[in-house]
Structure 1
Amino acid sequence: MSALQVANAIEIAWNPSSDQALKSQAFEYLSQLRSDPSGWPVCLNLFTKSPPQPEIVRHASLEIVNSAAQAGMIDLASLAVVRDGLLTYLRTVYGPDGTAAPDAPYIQNKIAQTVTFLFSALYANGWETCFDDLLGLTYKSSASSTRDNPFGIVFYLRVVNSIHEEIGDVLVSRSRGEQDKANSLKDLIRERDMQKIASSWQEILSAWRDADDTVVEMCLKAVGSWVSWIDIGLVVNQTMLDLLFQQLGRAEKQELREGEQRVRDAAVDVFTEIIGKKMKPADKIEMILFLNLDSIITQLSNSPPARKPIHLQVRYRSG
């Protein structure tokens, strides 16, 4: 097979005006490609090729790589090849001194899904630098001293949120083996990288708190989702709380932009998750007193947007 054949098949399959007979042949070809061990390298090259292929070709190509990986058709050594190819691409597009235009959000989500699978397979098997590699994308240049690259930051946060869904989201149904693996990966993150991840949240919120609502909202969502399974002290500390209170302060405004509303709601969700975290009852009470929760609720209740529903749910879970 050739890259040209694969690209043509994808374009025919997803072109609404394609001849139905040709479309059927294209779908059949792509179906066979998914089960062909020689298919994924061609598709990986199609995705990372420069100049870039049409978006539908790139999205479908990466989906075929994902399918092969999840079906166990790519061994660990070859998964490392996929990782290296994607990291090279990500540094070219999102990293320091990147020159290419960022991908559409739906393609970024597909790349984040692939990176999450690679993390799951390789973090305990040779990819110890996973978070260092991703954090490297958050700088505009090698000389940057602050996390000043919005495109790289957004992609990093997409992966961080995707990793939580993979290993930390309690609403996701997992087999016993899958849950054991998720727990092992969470332990490994706590041991290796949790401090630097939490520090990155503080750095991002500090640098972008008034500059980009999308960055701030995504960062708050990461904090709110991860807080259930990390050391509470990484979030409930004066530096982080000051940053969170600054975002809650938007509730004082008479009128909020749409992005500001989402940021405010994400900040409320962080406090909801903090209060809902499993803790010993005495520790929970001590934390509530430290947070001065009564003051937070009063602030929200007296704010102009409170005429619209804002709910800070206090859940006393002990464990």
Structure 2
Amino acid sequence: MEGTELYHYLEALKTDENGWRKSTDNIVANNLSTDEEHFLLLQVIEDYLARRYAGADADSVMCIRSLLSHWIQKLSTRPDQPVFLVNKMAHIFSLVFAADFPDRWPTFMDDIFLSRGLDSVPLVVFYLKTLLAIDSEVVDRDIQRTKTVGCSQVFDRNTKIKDFMRDLCIPQIVQSWWTILERCSDVTAQCLCLDAVAAFVDWIDVELVANDVFVPLVIARLGNKDISEAAVRAVSALIQKGMPPSKKLSLVTALTDVMRNNHLISVNPILFYNVSPRLTT
């Protein structure tokens, strides 16, 4: 199809009640001529997910799940997917998660990602991009700050999702971060993982990450020029996390110790002990 013809075709799919299903069927059947066509069909599906998927019947839910499974399989067989497709699919996964978790799909994270072992860089990168997309979709800071009548329903949905995530999958997600930081040397994966830490630490149990195992792993990345900016964001988020003063002091002390041990900061004891307060009259 040429430009104008494709545009009208896509608009027709959006207005067609079953246009999203036709788009899904074409993608799953690999009935696509270009990556650009794939992207445009995903826009039709995205529109359906945002507007109507929350009330979908069981058959429609399974159709969407087949799309997610197809994408994960595609990452295994054709890992060199265009970035714009990877980003669009991460957003689509986040929309499905927001609609299905926890009521329709409490094991989403385990079924899609965690049980697979995250044994390839493309899958790790996509997993982390999906986490960041979920954070954008579910932890909307603007909605939290302005709980108007129009935002109230979304606010309540997001609160429920976060509560159940804390109980059902956050400990496993944090463990996956540790594994990725420790074992995956890919720079993109390392940066995305640190960004996920920075995003999620705002609302998860701080003790899952502010501990003797996780903090040194994050701090050590400050010395790597390729990922140091992402490491700074993660460290800053940890320090800014709301917590009792005693815990904050312990965290800052631990951060200082680790940074000193990694030669990221230094204290000159002579200068330190020779400093004396000046008294003015």
TM range (shorter): 0.7 to 0.9
What is the aligned partner in structure 2 of residue 179 from structure 1? 155
**For residues 181-204 of structure 1, what are the alpha-carbon distances to aligned partners after superposition, in whole Å with 9 as ceiling and x for unaligned?**
111100010010111000000001
Q: How does 1:278-317 map to 2 (within 5 A)?
A: 278-292=242-256, 295=259, 299-300=263-264
The answer to whether the 8 Å contact 1:91/1:137 transfers is: no
- Residue 49 (str. 1) matches residue 25 (str. 2): no
Query: Does 1 or 2 have the higher relative contact order (CA < 8 Å, sep 6+)?
Result: 2
Aligned counterparts of 1:119 and 1:28: Cα–Cα separation in 2: 30
Greater shift, 174-183 or 230-239, is seen at 174-183
Cα RMSD for the two superposed structures: 2.5
**For residues 17-49 of structure 1, what are the alpha-carbon distances to aligned partners after superposition, in whole Å with 9 as ceiling and x for unaligned?**
xxxxxx2x6534432321211211110122222
What is the aligned partner in structure 1 of residue 179 from structure 2? 203
Question: 3-state SS of the aligned residue for 1:236?
Answer: coil
Q: Per the alignment, do residues 79 and 187 of structure 1 end up closer, same or farther by CA in structure 2, a change over 3 Å counting?
A: farther
The answer to whether the 8 Å contact 1:164/1:226 transfers is: yes
Identity rate, percent = 24
Aligned counterparts of 1:189 and 1:243: Cα–Cα separation in 2: 24
Letter in 1 for 2:239: I
Q: Per the alignment, do residues 123 and 76 of structure 1 end up closer, same or farther by CA in structure 2, a change over 3 Å counting?
A: farther
Letter in 2 for 1:59: F
Match for residue 91 of structure 1 among 56, 72, 78: 72
Aligned counterparts of 2:16 and 2:233: Cα–Cα separation in 1: 45
Moved runs in structure 1, 4+ residues, more than 6 A?
none
Q: What TM-score results when the alignment is normalised by the length of structure 1?
A: 0.74
What is the aligned partner in structure 1 of residue 229 from structure 2? 265
Q: CA deviation at 1:231?
A: 0.5
Match for residue 96 of structure 2 among 112, 118, 129: 118
The answer to whether the 8 Å contact 2:68/2:93 transfers is: no
Q: CA deviation at 1:93?
A: 1.6
Which blocks of at least 5 consecutive residues in structure 2 are unaligned?
Answer: 267-281
Q: CA deviation at 1:129?
A: 1.8
**For residues 147-173 of structure 1, what are the alpha-carbon distances to aligned partners after superposition, in whole Å with 9 as ceiling and x for unaligned?**
431011011111011101111242467
Aligned counterparts of 2:32 and 2:265: Cα–Cα separation in 1: 51
What is the aligned partner in structure 1 of residue 61 from structure 2? 80
Aligned counterparts of 2:174 and 2:258: Cα–Cα separation in 1: 26
- Residue 153 (str. 1) matches residue 124 (str. 2): yes
The answer to whether the 8 Å contact 2:10/2:40 transfers is: no
Question: 3-state SS of the aligned residue for 1:155?
Answer: helix
Match for residue 238 of structure 2 among 274, 284, 287: 274
**For residues 120-143 of structure 1, what are the alpha-carbon distances to aligned partners after superposition, in whole Å with 9 as ceiling and x for unaligned?**
11112221221112325864xxxx
The answer to whether the 8 Å contact 1:138/1:153 transfers is: no
Q: CA deviation at 1:268?
A: 0.9
Q: Per the alignment, do residues 287 and 169 of structure 1 end up closer, same or farther by CA in structure 2, a change over 3 Å counting?
A: farther
The answer to whether the 8 Å contact 2:94/2:137 transfers is: yes
Q: How does 1:62-77 map to 2 (within 5 A)?
A: 62-72=42-52, 75-77=56-58
Q: CA deviation at 1:290?
A: 3.1
Aligned counterparts of 2:121 and 2:32: Cα–Cα separation in 1: 22
Q: Per the alignment, do residues 240 and 126 of structure 1 end up closer, same or farther by CA in structure 2, a change over 3 Å counting?
A: same
What is the aligned partner in structure 1 of residue 274 from structure 2? none
Q: What TM-score results when the alignment is normalised by the length of structure 2?
A: 0.83
